Structure 1
Amino acid sequence: MDSVNPATGERIATYEADSDDIVESKLGTAANTFDEWRDRPLREREKLLASAGDVLRENEETYATLMTREMGKPIAQARAEVQKCAWACDHYAEYASTYLESEHHPSPPGTTVKTVHEPLGPVLAVMPWNYPFWQVIRFAAPYITAGNVGLLKHASNVPGCAQALEEIFREAGYPEGVFQTLMIGSSKVDGVIEDDRVRAVTLTGSGPAGRAVAETAGRNLKQTVLELGGSDPFIVLDDADLDAAVETGVLARNQNNGQSCIAAKRFIVHEAIYEEYVDRLVSAFADQTIGDPMDETTDIGPQADPDLMAALHEQVTASAEAGATVRTGGEPLDRTGAYYPPTVLTDVPEGCPADTEELFGPVAAVYKVSDAEEAIDVANDTRFGLGASIWTADRERGERLANRINAGCVYVNQLTKSDPRVPFGGIGDSGYGRELSGPGIREFVNRKTVWVE
């Protein structure tokens, strides 16, 4: 497996893939470790997770640099990702006992009835490259602390991050086998899912990958959580604070070089403020600094892979040919590296790629609507349902409209985000199940009823 810097096209390192024998050995280790790990007191598991948070903080610059070199995110954002991972460890170290506390139920006199939460076993995580540390910690922190053990199949373009994540848990003092990285390609994932020792699967990635994993897991009656793509609406109503809606809109679309499932992708703007908002948004997009992701002043680094950038440009080109207007950007930069500029499309016709597909890069599709009713109709006119953002000075109005949007999460006057304190996940083609908070940690446990007469 080659690690290639998308900013330069240079190979950073080459990693040896795991042979079938090594995979078999790791699966055996996971199963054996689970038998002991599940009986470790929860308080001890919480303390180890707190230690993992300390390891993350102590090595922040090393891990941030590794992320930036392997997938191109600006270094400041990479540091923020490491910090967020440490925060998630802190959160579950403090609250896992609360989330997993037994639930007592009404019962006849003299009886005790409760639901206890017991771990399932080895959990396979198929994770993406766009947030190479956060996506992994987001699954590992809760599931491992609940008593499961983790097997990571990371994206093939971030092998260095995959190995570093395993080292974090080792340095934190976890027993061997609680968290292991499988250095395998996608073609071997089905075989791992089918193995009797693997009890559940979580995936963050594309729709086709999610369907493939769900199909294999379903045949084998194994639980799954899928967080797939999104085409999140960013609704700007006539009474919105335009300064905040522009500033946050730029960040919500372009952070992580625009490569985020919950990025603002469809900007739905009330006609009363449409022209002003679009002019300001276009100006702000054009002002973004594109360059070396290791430079502290860079806003937008390269796309993670030249092929991904080419696919994004095909979507933009097809949308323009269908009638969309390119207001800024729209062409790959003529320079070394997979650089695509922040792009704004207006007059987006129904059915073109910008209207119906996920644009996984710094491209915003903008729609004009006549009122809040039409805004909701446009927001819901998608097969995706991950997140949404609504901007209005009337918080009650925002909450009423939020209840009508078909999505897993809706933020009013805030960008869509994942936060360890609240559940996260989607509906429709954006997947199912929840990560984070109490519902997240309880996804992969046996909710066992215990009746004592």
Structure 2
Amino acid sequence: MATTMETLQNFIGGRWEEPVGEDAVAVVNPATEKAFAHFRASCADDVDRAVAVAGAAQSAWAALTVARRVERIHAWADTIAAHAEELAELECREMGKPVGIGLSFIAGAVAGLKAAADQALTYPFSETVTGPGPAGERTDIVRHPLGVTAVITPWNFPVVMVLGALGPLLAAGNTVVVKPSERSPVSTVRLFELAASAGLPPGVLNLVLGDGRTGAALTEHEEVRLVHFTGSVGAGRAVGSATGGRLSRSVLELGGKDPAVIDDGVDPVATAQAVAFGAFINTGQICTSMERIYVHERIADGFVEALAAAAGTFTIGDGLDPATVLGPLVDARQRDTVRRHVEDAVHKGATVRAGGVVPERPGYFYPATVLTGVDDTMLVMTEETFGPVAPVTVVSSFEEGLTRAAASRYGLAATVYTDDPDHIAAAAQLPVGVVWVNQWQGGGPERLYEPARDSGMGATGARAAYDAATRPAAVHIAATAPAAGR
């Protein structure tokens, strides 16, 4: 191969290429604070080349049968599965996720890639509809691929987010240019090496490395017909503005400040352990982490005590160590955000029940932290913390918990714990994209959703992902052709 893991390159048209941009970017291991890879950020010329190559490859890729495209995607997925541990170790080095946790997510992402590709086999790329017109008339609805698409992924799940977006885009006949986060591009580079070895045709998948300026050049490119973006609200607004201005599409999954609402009829200890996992796993660096917790006053004391005890079991350390449960935050900037949110809460009257102190050791570590006595004047209850912090609010009823859970500018997901059917029905009305009941995360390949409010726009999953990846055209066919003239 034409690159090493120390000096990263773009992958365009099946070849490794040095970006022509001049700005150097270092990739830092957050457990050691030492750089272990670097690259030059791609400029507009690099993006132009990647998009042109993707455009040249698209017609031949779309001309393959759906079954053949799905077969190629499956071959890549199988290759990824065979290298899952290597990919998990790379993710650990670049953003801190413990290897064991990374492995479980990558396994799920590989299965999801296959399932999403398989949906193309039953998706109605062509269907006939009839209306009230004369007998013999019909209208054929044909769904065409969009052409060149872009996928811009965040740093917290480098492998998972790439695979989660690509299945429908590729299976529908589009070609793709991927831009990973500059904080965690190494595992994505390895994904593209595996794509080449699995036999995906050159130009179908292309990679450009870079920062926000690279992403802007990609989202503003006239030939990119859809941008699938996962990231911050501010960056998502810029993407939506750029694509909307040139009448192209975007699918945006942005920030979250997800609530958990705990009813009084559940086991406080078991529920606290489940909430700890949802709040602290991946060091809280998940868009759907539980960042606001509303617990019924009847079980609050036992719940908080059990949650604080559970926080103490999240062992801090380098994710390469099998004993580690809580790896570092991705960088100093992210840790500073977490620390600032906790300090702001304490200054305004919150109580630290566990954690809350930066450990004196190298690495961007922060302990699993539980806060009580929080209110909505505090940053930790209104802004995305994206760290291992569980702020708990005691409520007098499940209904109050739902009301407070809904009072947010975010609307990504929510989790409720209750055995009351009426409460489950009420929770279904929360203004979010996904509601989980009695289990954080979950849902099969047929799940589809759209984030609400500042958490994004554009339905995704199942058929909705294929609808977004294609353009429908109607072909109306009359019953008979006009009679020939004399």
Q: TM-score, normalised by structure 2?
A: 0.90
Which sits farther off after the overlay, 406-415 or 158-167? 158-167
Q: Unpaired runs of 5+ in structure 2?
A: 1-24, 479-486
- Where do 4+ consecutive residues of structure 1 move more than 6 Å? none
Aligned with residue 46 of structure 1, among 61, 70, 84: 70
Aligned with residue 161 of structure 2, among 135, 149, 171: 135
Q: Which structure has the greater CA radius of gyration?
A: 2
Displacement, 1:20? 4.3
Distance 2:217 2:370 in 1: 43
Alignment of 1:446 with 2:471, yes or no, is yes
Distance 2:65 2:107 in 1: 27
Distance 1:291 1:189 in 2: 33
Q: CA 1:25 to 1:380, structure 2 compared with 1: closer, same or farther past 3 Å? A: same
Displacement, 1:440? 1.7
**What letter matches 1:11 in structure 2?**
A
Distance 2:43 2:117 in 1: 35
**2:22 match:** none
Q: Matches of residues 385-424 of structure 1 in structure 2 within 5 Å?
A: 385-394=411-420, 396-417=421-442, 420-424=445-449
Which sits farther off after the overlay, 421-430 or 107-116? 107-116
Which sits farther off after the overlay, 428-437 or 242-251? 242-251
**What letter matches 1:69 in structure 2?**
R
**1:91 match:** 115
Judge conservation of contact 2:233–2:254 (CA < 8 Å) in 1.
Answer: yes
Q: CA 1:186 to 1:159, structure 2 compared with 1: closer, same or farther past 3 Å? A: same
**2:47 match:** 23
SS in 1 for 2:410: coil
State the number of aligned residues.
452
**2:88 match:** 64
C-alpha distance after superposition, 1:53-94 (max 9, x if no partner): 101111111111111111100110111122112101221232
**1:308 match:** 334
Displacement, 1:364? 0.8
C-alpha distance after superposition, 1:111-157 (max 9, x if no partner): 22243321101111111010101111111111111111111111001
Judge conservation of contact 1:398–1:412 (CA < 8 Å) in 2.
Answer: no
SS in 2 for 1:12: strand
**What letter matches 1:434 in structure 2?**
A
Distance 2:443 2:245 in 1: 30
**1:76 match:** 100
Judge conservation of contact 1:138–1:436 (CA < 8 Å) in 2.
Answer: no
Q: Matches of residues 37-436 of structure 1 in structure 2 within 5 Å?
A: 37-107=61-131, 108=133, 109-394=135-420, 396-417=421-442, 420-436=445-461
Distance 1:255 1:419 in 2: 21
Q: Unpaired runs of 5+ in structure 1?
A: none
Judge conservation of contact 1:46–1:92 (CA < 8 Å) in 2.
Answer: no
Aligned sequence identity (%):
32
Judge conservation of contact 2:283–2:327 (CA < 8 Å) in 1.
Answer: yes
Displacement, 1:327? 1.2
C-alpha distance after superposition, 1:379-430 (max 9, x if no partner): 1010000001111123x23431222211001011110357543114411010
Which sits farther off after the overlay, 110-119 or 331-340? 110-119
Displacement, 1:323? 1.6
Displacement, 1:19? 4.8
Displacement, 1:185? 1.9
Distance 1:362 1:31 in 2: 42
C-alpha distance after superposition, 1:426-450 (max 9, x if no partner): 1101001122222122212102223
SS in 2 for 1:86: helix
**What letter matches 2:180 in structure 1?**
H
Distance 1:106 1:241 in 2: 55
Distance 1:34 1:77 in 2: 36
Distance 1:417 1:304 in 2: 25
SS in 1 for 2:323: coil
Judge conservation of contact 1:318–1:352 (CA < 8 Å) in 2.
Answer: yes
Judge conservation of contact 1:312–1:361 (CA < 8 Å) in 2.
Answer: yes
- CA RMSD in angstroms comes to 1.6
**What letter matches 1:397 in structure 2?**
D
**What letter matches 1:401 in structure 2?**
A
Displacement, 1:235? 0.8
Distance 2:126 2:440 in 1: 35
Distance 2:419 2:199 in 1: 49
Judge conservation of contact 2:148–2:225 (CA < 8 Å) in 1.
Answer: yes
Q: CA 1:305 to 1:172, structure 2 compared with 1: closer, same or farther past 3 Å? A: same
C-alpha distance after superposition, 1:286-318 (max 9, x if no partner): 221111211112110000111110111111111
SS in 2 for 1:450: strand
SS in 2 for 1:261: coil
Which sits farther off after the overlay, 184-193 or 156-165? 184-193
